[in-house]
Amino acid sequence: AHIAISECEKRLALQGRKVVIITQNIDELHKRAGSQNIIELHGNLFTTRCTKCGDVAKNYDSPICAALKDKGAPDPEAKDAKIPVNELPRCKKGGCGGLLRPHVVWFGEGLHREVLAKTNEELEHCDLCLVVGTSSVVYPAAMYAPMVAARGVPVAEFNVESTPATHQLGYHFQGPAGETLPSALTRHESEPQDS
């Protein structure tokens, strides 16, 4: 599905048309598939933010610091990760040394104002909306497709099951997005051939 979206974005760009991916995912799979126009509502797991100076930087280190090596398996019985604070990942910008955290939105945190503004701007001007693989229960993202549909814009949902928003949208394609989306996004015979 990610590759189908990326290929559609490239094909339509050659026609002077714009595709924007607004995603709740934090995994960079859209970027890895080749998409360019991506709004990450909930941030990006491969980006850190300093809790002291606010610096945001890409970070593909795995683990992010030596103290986190072999700490990936969750232990529901653990009361504490037992990692000394001085061994946690630190900001390297200008000797700051502040604690780093993933630059993602955790439950209970609000979305970043700039991301919301950019998302609203894109949704205000879109002429087609595809909703792919979401439960449609996490807000504010859950309100976007019904909001666009209420403006009379065609909205198609691609999902393994119906969601609370399904009845408000124009079209529902049931099944895994990797199976339903590629055929929906293939070049239509009325489109010019890619050069």
Distances 82 to 61, 67, 68 between C-alpha atoms, Å: 21, 10, 10
Check whether 195 has a pLDDT greater than 60.
no
Do the Cβ atoms of 65 and 89 come closer than 8 Å? yes
Check whether 182 has a pLDDT greater than 90.
yes
**10 Å Cβ neighbour count for 133?**
17
Q: What is the pLDDT of residues 37-65, one digit of tens each?
A: 999 999 999 999 999 999 999 999 888 88
**pLDDT value at residue 42:** 95
Check whether 140 has a pLDDT greater than 90.
no
**pLDDT value at residue 135:** 81
Provide the residue type at 90 as one letter: R
Could you say which of 2, 30, 42, 103 is catalytic? 42
**pLDDT value at residue 194:** 65
End-to-end CA distance of the chain: 23
What angle (nearest 5°) sits at the alpha carbon of residue 38, between those of residues 30 and 181? 50
Where residue 107 falls among pLDDT bands split at 50, 70, 90? confident
Residues belonging to the binding site for Zn(2+) are 50, 53, 91, 96
167: annotated active-site residue: no
Residues belonging to the binding site are 50, 53, 91, 96
